[in-house]
Structure 1
């Protein structure tokens, strides 16, 4: 039975018999690897060792009565992602939540309960639906993609810093969505990126809250600029003007202003860093795999995808979408996810105790050799067979990414615009490292050769 067949069933069932919890590493194991766990270059090795020694589902005592599970099994992780009633994000104020709030405040991404998340989501879901994204933000994305790539075109053959280009693009798009006609997105977002590059690598350190202050301060400054820009504008366009309606006394009430800032910060974070990082990996993989690049370019030049907004660009079976999916499988930017067990359950013979913490490891599950043939290879054609798409790169259930359509639009328009203009070739060999995100260990640089 393959993974696709198994996942069609319901692997979560109520606890009826006493099945032992899966074994796993002891506290001594983690103490001996404490340096590696706080080293962004070595942390993946620790989790791979856990999987190699104890299997793809293991558990460990945490504290006197707590338990943490490590899940790198594709089918079990898929069931947990789908088990919204049994596995929740933050049932109470946890250390994980405290770290997130230290970075980005208490907005949508760092809410305490699923009910709070639903309240935030309700106010923003319509703005980021697929139809609304295409109607309201499509022209914004195209305008900035064209402007940045036309500038690159004018430079002729050159090595381009894709990390900076992608960050500038995501920063411009999100700033225009929040506060149109801003004049300060590019370099502010690049500064935030540099601070973030250092800060997120410290995420697993005990004193992360202190280390994250510079990043949070930079985000607050950028959010404040955007809020003041929106307030001074004559137009009612932009999401911040709509958010101000929800906080009518934000200018006089410090608590209301703080809520507005938190919401703005969360949208900035959600709208630029993960998308820009994914664009790094997509561009790098196309530069390495020139055969796939050429086939995709032929489709782009045929007009199949238009400018990246054509319905074919959203068709999961097209090469464009398969390339994006394969990049997200190989380099799952959200490389770990945390859930908490609300009721004891058994999944595929593994017992999960109520109250336990579950660390999902999609960066391992998405390279599982029993699920994917030649799992470390970049092969967009694998999805034409029975191989499944990567595990929920945009999340799933009540906390699914509300900006998914915007991220997809940005990725599609960038890839289409780039391949229309340039031939890509390698200029560096980045490796993946782990902090809050799975990011390259250096800026991704690609040689761009304009097409004649």
Structure 2
């Protein structure tokens, strides 16, 4: 692949320093609590599979055919890992994201129509309005450094709040973020008991002493659902209405208040933070490569003029969509997944035993030298239609039956907001303020994404 764009002063955007030597139990614990991606050895970006033992047997899989087997062909053998459930269940219960088997299936069938193409397209005006408000806030601070991560969190929270509770009966953004930060600080980090493979019933002390803010979020959500049941919603149907009206087409089962609450919290927390992360990293990458940013700005201005982007504009914004795709390759929010094998199997010629941990290091997969040309470089043109990407080499939303239910919603929102911002502003790096990619539950820019912003 030939790239004629000028090379920035720094040839590659920021990345995680992957391990060069075995960590052992306590080294793995320290890395997992500091930045879980540091558990990935650098060799994972060259090998199809790695196996080992750190308390429990594990297999780290980067081979597309093996990933297809895990995520689609033999998906029932690879449910979410014990550690994943221990971390997530206190926050979002047995919701769609955590549930398995028939419990997952009926919830998926019930929620799928909520995220149909028609419903997602109907929500685009909410996204356009949030993009306009973000521009107004940024314009007020233009000419100085702006923490674009904070701005994108505000924008995407407005979107998810408005589409979930159109009557205004929602969550306070500050309280949601206190809950998320508290949860990640105390509950979402890997425990020594996780590393050595202690059974799920053994209490993890850090998780017993946290979660007050998350419990308060659950109380607020329960109150909102109960009010909606009693009073209804005279306005436009929102996500809560659609979920309340939804029923499993096979059994006719509807969600109870706790089931509605756990799924709403999943959509609210995951649905705004992951898109905020994508937008923040995309703005950093555009600032990193001014030539790409200039081309994207020209595309956005030609399509939009001075207005906010809409769903109807997305077809006229192919470069901006490619920037979003490349951002999700370099900085996938869900960059490290794990499963627990239920029965014996074989992956890439390796024996898998019941109880083995199967690690899907999406971060390493997306930077694998056998699958990507210049894998650590920022190159949106690798996603052109003439260069098809191998399906299981690129998994920002997972795949198979459990592919992210909100993927189309997230992509539409990201393109609308990014195009609107790039049409109106120029973003430049702040010397000495490069973001640091750190993953606990999601791949975040530690310290924020600070960029100089000026009107375009």
Q: How high is the TM-score relative to the length of structure 2?
A: 0.79
Alignment equivalent of 1:176, drawn from 136, 156, 162: 162
1:439 and 1:211 map into 2 onto residues whose CA distance is: 24
Q: 1:287 to 1:199 in 2, by over 3 A?
A: farther
Aligned counterpart, 1:126? 113
Tell me which residue corresponds to 2:337: 337
Give the structure 2 partner of residue 44 of structure 1: 37
Contact 1:103 1:209 in 2 (8 A): no
Give the equivalent residue in structure 1 for 2:428: 425
Cross-structure match for 1:217: 215
1:51-130 matches, cutoff 5 A: 51=44, 55-61=47-53, 67-85=57-75, 87-90=77-80, 94-111=82-99, 113-130=100-117
Q: 1:408 to 1:226 in 2, by over 3 A?
A: farther
How far has the Cα of 1:285 moved from its partner? 0.9
The corresponding residue for 1:10 is none
Question: Does the Cα contact within 8 Å between 2:142 and 2:455 map onto a contact in 1?
Answer: yes
Per-residue CA distance 1:141-170 (angstroms, 9 max, x = gap): 111211221232244323222222111122
Comparing 226-235 and 392-401, the one that deviates more: 226-235
Per-residue Cα deviation, 1:240-279 (whole angstroms, up to 9, x for no partner): 23444579xxxxxxx9443332222122123112121222
Using the TM superposition, give the Cα deviation of residue 348 of structure 1 relative to its aligned residue in structure 2, in angstroms.
3.6
**Structure 1 gaps, min length 5:** 1-27, 248-254
Q: Which 10-residue stretch deviates more, 180-189 or 377-386?
A: 180-189
Q: Distance in 1 between matches of 2:220 and 2:360?
A: 32
Unaligned runs of 5+ in 2: 1-21, 194-203, 248-254
Cα distance, 1:221–1:82 mapped onto 2, change above 3 Å: same
Q: Write the distance in 1 (CA, Å) between the matches of 2:272 and 2:32.
A: 25
Whole-Å separation in 1 of the counterparts to 2:127 and 2:245: 26
Question: How large is the RMSD of aligned CA atoms in angstroms?
Answer: 3.2
The answer to whether the 8 Å contact 1:37/1:204 transfers is no
Is contact 2:163–2:239 with CA below 8 Å preserved after alignment?
A: yes
Q: 1:347 to 1:416 in 2, by over 3 A?
A: same
Native 8 Å contact 1:168 1:185 kept in 2: no
Give yes or no for contact 1:86–1:343 (8 Å, CA) kept in 2: no
Q: How many pairs were matched up?
A: 408
Match of 1:141 in 2: 127
Q: Kindly tell me: are residues 105 and 85 of structure 1, through their superposed partners in 2, closer, same or farther at Cα, counting changes over 3 Å?
A: closer
SS at match of 1:125: helix
1:393 & 1:381 partners in 2: Cα distance?
17
Q: Distance in 2 between matches of 1:277 and 1:199?
A: 21
CA–CA distance in 1 between the matches of 2:217 and 2:436?
27
Alignment match, 2:262: 262
Give the superposition deviation at 1:29: 5.2
Q: Which of 121, 137, 147 is the matching residue for 1:161?
A: 147
Q: What is the rounded CA distance, in whole Å, between the counterparts of 1:425 and 1:196 in structure 2?
A: 33
Residues 172 and 185 of structure 1 are in contact (CA less than 8 Å); yes or no, is this contact kept in structure 2? no
